[in-house]
Chains A and B, each alone.
Chain A
Amino acid sequence: MIRSVSHPQSREWRRAHLERHRRMWIIMAIVIGIAVAFGLSGYFNGVDWATLVDAVVRTTYRIAIAYGIALALGVSIALLVGWSPFADILFPFFDILQNLPSFALFPLFIYFLGFTDQMIILFAVSSIIWPILFAVLTAIKSAHKDLSDAATIFGARGFRRIRYYLAPLSFPSILTGSIVGIAIGWEAVIGAEIIANISGFGAFIKNVDTSGISSAEVAGALGILVIVFVVNRLVWAPLLADSARRYAE
């Protein structure tokens, strides 16, 4: 009988993971500390908190919806393309599409959808989708040939191949693609709100002060930092840890 052994990298990996975890909390403590210091000094006294919270919530809501649509679309398209025999043909086509600067297409979104919530959300989808789609496609294309052969030999054929082989194979890439996609999404949504002057954090910082950095902008930026941190700690960090544990070589 062969004795069970722990993963050779597990101790080092756990140590590095804890170290990353600790660093993130330190950074967050610094951000909160700065916010508290600003607050105590009276820096935020003139901030219209109701408007600011409303703006941040609207922007966050748009990001969340856009991410959900981009995730569903990006993963579905990538899995279907990766599963089909046309992956090699379609890959360069997607590469050209993703290289188009999103903001160059912004007038088209306004033309077809007007100055609406839907326009901002779909514009953000057009930015968030690419990192997810490419991460999944690359994971499928670069998978070890033996793994793909094993899936075929043991019966993962037809559409079952997507559910039982390609989708779980792509899970770590969906995570990394999502993290990059959401970062791009914040830029896209805030940028679009500034340009189109549609209520949200973008429009808020445009309207509060055009002459320089205001206390409301600083408060809003700190608020968004907190949201990003909380999502990272509560959603991405546990998923990344689980993915690293299960998918380690």
Chain B
Amino acid sequence: MALVLSRISSRFDDQRTKEVSVLKDITFSVPAGSFVSIIGPSGAGKSTLMRVILGLMPQTSGDIVRNFKRPAMVFQNYALFPWLTALDNVAFGLRMDGMSRQEREHIAREKLREVGLEHLEKHYPAALSGGQRQRVGLARALAISPDLLIMDEPFSNLDTITAEALKTDLLKIWRSYGMTILMVNHLIPDAIELSDQIIVMGAHPGRIEKIIPIDLTRPRDVRGVQFFKEVDRLTEDIRRMLP
């Protein structure tokens, strides 16, 4: 298992309502090399859960077993450093590792090529479209050779065509790298298309409603009858689960 969470709860103090419970008794595990999606309504604490997993904020109670050495993250709002070019953004993690300029730029160029942006290496994030920024974010994550990639709603700010193209690339990258991917998503068809397992979360407080394995064979035919049946079944399940 790449990640095991056992009864994770997280609370924070709010001046008005004193104490707010964001996550309650979250328990699940993520097999190494698998693609797991987390879906749930706003307020389910999905992003908080990602930050707890990465150790960016502490849990109030519960245990996390982190069997990964190098995590990386792709953000909903890209979170690219505006003062760095696309190339330098991708090379940022390598620079922090103390890698020489020549070596890190070589790797960064390779990653930009993988996401189809080698011609934009000198552009600053402000000069890139949303899809291009997200690809730079993905290249930045891949550059540090992560064994766990966390993606927080990576397609939600993108148009349909760009999101589709990025999804295709993401699946290729996942297969070739063999890393574990944990992705927060809000679209059920996307989650079914990409994932081995879907974790459905409820809100107020954030909790796990159900963990659903997706047994469709890969590559998945998103126009096939089986796929649509799975989307219908899951949509109905989730509708019953969530108010």
Q: Which residues of A are interface residues toward B (Cβ below 8 A)?
A: 1-2, 4-7, 10, 144, 146-147, 149-157, 160, 164-165, 168-169, 171, 245-249
Contact = CB atoms under 8 A, between A and B. Distances in A.
A144 B77 contact: yes
Q: Looking at chain A's contact residues, is the secondary structure mostly helix, strand, loop, or mixed?
A: helix
Contacts of B123: 4
Contacts of A4: 119-120, 123, 127-128, 132
B95 A245 contact: no
Interface in B76-126: 76-77, 79-84, 92-93, 95-97, 116-117, 119-120, 123-124, 126
B198 to A, nearest CB: 24
Contact of A153 (B54, B97, B129): B54
Contact of B75 (A7, A146, A160, A246): A146
A155 B97 contact: yes
A3 to B, nearest CB: 8
22 contacts: A2-B116, A2-B131, A2-B135, A4-B119, A4-B123, A4-B132, A5-B129, A7-B126, A10-B127, A147-B79, A149-B51, A149-B79, A150-B75, A150-B79, A150-B81, A154-B140, A155-B97, A168-B83, A171-B83, A245-B124, A246-B83, A248-B126
Interface string B63-83: 000000001110111011111
Given A146-B77, A147-B81, A149-B56, A2 B127 contact: no
A141 B218 CA distance: 46
B165 interface: yes
Contacts of A247: 82-83, 126
B96 A246 contact: no
B162 interface: yes
B190 to A, nearest CB: 19
B143 to A, nearest CB: 9
A239 B138 CA distance: 31
